[in-house]
Amino acid sequence: MQEQLKQLQQEALDKIEQAQELKELNDIRVAYLGKKGPITEVLRGMGKLSAEERPVMGALANEVREAIATAITSKQEHLEQIAVEQKLAKETIDVTLPGRPVRVGNHHPLTAVLEEIEDLFLGMGYQIAEGPEVETDYFNFEALNLPKGHPARDMQDSFYITEELLLRTHTSPVQARTMEKHEGKGPVKIICPGKVYRRDNDDATHSHQFTQIEGLVVDENIRMSDLKGTLEVFAKKMFGEEREIRLRPSFFPFTEPSVEVDVSCFSCGGKGCNICKGTGWIEMLGAGMVHPNVLQMAGFDPEKYSGFAFGIGAERIAMLKYGVDDIRHFYTDDVRFLKQFKRA
């Protein structure tokens, strides 16, 4: 029996020595030290031994067990150590490899211009208003003094959805919506940036969808000089401190009087060049004093209140500011175009 135990020990130690993997080691543990293992088997035969032999054999069996267990533990530690080393070797980072450039996006030029304009007007105490892009005929036209059948509706070819619903052709309906919310009480001081839609054939200067920024101020004693001063600040902010503006008479059904606002050419300073087509002036936006009918329809007393409004074409401003020659560049997502605008 003693021999048998010694032999088992040797056998187990050899196998442990040769084991290459943790799984193998565990199998050895189960095989030799488990309940069904050979050592347990040997101990089961102890009943046949004499009273003197029994403790001696018991002690020996425990020694063998201990020896095997110790060998397994130390081999296990060894194998684990190797596994860690292999993993580290495999996952080593070669810090000498060249890095990959990190690409940082930048604002779309149109977004940049919109934010610049919003900041300017927020700084002058305006609030930002919004309205729906799918608009009713009432707000897009009628509330702006353009009753059904009015010839000036042709100025803005429209995408109709139903007889009474259309894609808004301008941001001016937000004027009427905002005034209604104020229930006849001033002051109203808003800008409204947003998408507008017109049935135009797309070319270098036309797009069926573009962006406007509406401005509206209604209060007591608002005059044309307030409009002019405001737009002068706007022109200088966008195109440089030396710029001047001029107002030319124009027509919009919702303003009276109506004006077209020009800015002195930022390229030649007014002498005349290609950009201003030799005139020294560049057309910038449409504006005017809110028509009394519009005030009245929106619940404001035109005897007490007056106001001014303007509509800025955001793409036009961006094209002038950045020298972009085709409005379609804003929508075709060509990275070669977009990459030229650096983060501020």
316 binds ligand PHE per the rule CB under 6 A = no
287 binds ligand PHE per the rule CB under 6 A = yes
143 binds ligand PHE per the rule CB under 6 A = no
Query: Could you say which of 9, 140, 145, 172 contacts ligand PHE (CB under 6 A)?
Result: 172
Query: Could you say which of 129, 286, 298, 307 contacts ligand PHE (CB under 6 A)?
Result: 286
Q: How far is the CB of 137 from ligand PHE (least distance, A)?
A: 15
Binding-site residue positions for Mg(2+): 256
Q: How far is the CB of 278 from ligand PHE (least distance, A)?
A: 25
310 binds ligand PHE per the rule CB under 6 A = yes
- 237 residue type, one letter: K
CA-nearest of 167, 165, 225, 231 to 194 is 167
**Span near ligand PHE by CB under 6 A; candidates 112-120, 264-272, 308-316, 323-331:** 308-316
Q: Which residue has the tokens 């087509």?
A: 277
57 vs 152 by CB, closer to ligand PHE: 152
Strand blocks (E) in 74-158: 127-128, 134-136
Q: How far is the CB of 308 from ligand PHE (least distance, A)?
A: 8
Q: Which residue has the tokens 């684990």?
A: 80
Q: Enumerate the H helices of 91-152 as residue ranges.
A: 109-123, 137-140
Q: Is 112 left (phi over 0), alpha (psi -120 to 50) or beta?
A: alpha
d(Cα 289, Cα 66) in Å, to the nearest integer?
A: 102
- Compute how many residues bind ligand PHE; rule: CB under 6 A: 10
**Span near ligand PHE by CB under 6 A; candidates 18-26, 34-42, 66-74, 305-313:** 305-313
Phi then psi dihedrals of residue 328, to 5 deg: -65, -20
d(Cα 273, Cα 267) in Å, to the nearest integer?
A: 8
d(Cα 282, Cα 262) in Å, to the nearest integer?
A: 5
Query: Could you say which of 37, 193, 288, 307 contacts ligand PHE (CB under 6 A)?
Result: 288
Query: Which residues of this chain interact with ligand PHE, rule CB under 6 A?
Result: 170, 172, 252, 255, 286-288, 309-311
